[in-house]
Amino acid sequence: MASATQDLDLFVRDALAKGASKEQIAATLGGAGWSTEQVTRALSAFSDVPFVVPVPKPRATMSAREAFFYLLMFAALYMAAFHLCDLVFDLLDGADSAADALAGRSRADIRWSMATLLIAFPVFLWMSRLVGRNVARDPLQRLSPVRRWLTYLTLFLAALALIIDAITLVSRFFGGDLRWVFLLKVLTVAAVAGAIFGHYLRDLRRGEEPAGSASADRFGGLLAAASTLAVLGAVVWGVVVTGSPSEMRQIRIDAHRVKDIDEIVDAVRDHAKEAGSLPTSLDPIAAEPGSRLALRDPETAAPYEYVRVDDTHFRVCARFATDTAHARPEGYPAELTPWNHGAGQHCFTRSWKPKESINEEAASGVESAGP
């Protein structure tokens, strides 16, 4: 195929050099079986400037720098589009009280999608602006092979997403399962994929419209503004659901406190089993060879409080910043009930005897030692 194209280009050049007009060349090639598109492309490679030999027009080339710009721009676009849909899906599942999806799911996926959007989307906007400026300076770059290939690939992926989205909608319609959460997910995919498809289809058809024209700039500016608002809205919604960074920090510190107390409880039980009685303080346990118990609060450095209640029961207390009744914390043991606590000073009563500890822990997990 490449050889045939080269033969055609050579024929056109030789014909123009011998004085044949472009109309005569087009008629001759058409009669020989060449398509109109092939003939037009071959003739457009030469300028109409009069000279002793045919004058070729500048052709779009591909440089490593140009390939880097376009690959980075489209990669950032794919990342932002995927994680915008993924973030909205997770947030809709959390808002669906029937599914209660976030109760047993880590919010790490939501935070990862938010982080990706906050990095990938600005990179895409920045690279788009940079590429747009380059095209405005050199309109021939609009015919760049890497640009056209990646644009058509993006159109294919967006069209495929729209087709799958429509198929899923029709399938669920026939199944009678069109819940509001599902419909909003369908609309999300349709909006994201449709915006991408429409933008790049228009970009391909903009050959006759200058890149810096008012119409092109106005459309691009409106699309960029709408996309930015959508991304910011999804991120703000995610922060409301998962909590602010300061709130998440307090939850993680409280999880660290629970972990420390859990290890202290195990150490006290092991000591009591060997000694036959509960210690009056944590000093004997801390003095044991190889002991690595964390006996102080990770934030305030205040010592955890240990109290021997009677011969079989003891308490370990700490001051917490959050209340487990508001949401399931991350980093806590799988069985949260024995570690439920409110904000402020809270004590956990435990027994060192295995048979008694089961009932005691279930009953004492919500005990508080004051505000």
Give dist(CA 262, CA 365) in Å, integer: 12
User: From its phi and psi, is residue 350 left (phi > 0), alpha (psi between -120 and 50) or beta?
Assistant: beta
Nearest to 196 by CA among 153, 258, 243, 240: 153
pLDDT of residue 357: 46
Q: What pLDDT was estimated at residue 49?
A: 77
Burial class (CB in 10 A: 0-12, 13-18, 19+), 80: buried
C-alpha dist (Å) from residue 89 to 182, 189, 233, 238, 329: 9, 10, 14, 11, 21
Q: According to the model, what pLDDT value does residue 243 have?
A: 77
pLDDT for 214: 52
CA nearest to 321, candidates 351, 348, 300? 300
Which phi and psi (to 5°) does residue 351 adopt?
Answer: -115, 145
Q: Pinpoint the alpha helices (H) of 22-144.
A: 22-31, 36-43, 64-95, 108-137
Splitting the chain (371 residues) into consecutive groups of 10 residues, what average pLDDT does each group show?
68 82 85 83 78 70 81 95 93 66 62 94 93 78 82 95 94 84 92 93 68 58 88 91 83 90 90 88 84 88 91 92 74 69 90 57 45 38
The predicted structure's pLDDT at residue 76:
96
pLDDT at 244: 80
Report the interhelical angle of 36-43 vs 2-17 (nearest 10°): 60
Nearest to 269 by CA among 302, 227, 314: 314
* DSSP structure class, residue 212: T
- Classify burial at 337, counting beta carbons within 10 Å of its beta carbon; exposed 0-12, middle 13-18, buried 19 or more: exposed
* Closest among 210, 240, 262 to 94, alpha carbons compared: 240
Q: Cβ contacts of residue 276 below 8 Å, gap of 6+?
A: none
**Whether the Cβ atoms of residue 41 and residue 9 lie closer than 8 Å to each other:** no
| Residue whose pair of structure tokens reads 């608002």 in the numeric block | 229
Whether the pTM exceeds 0.75: the reply is no
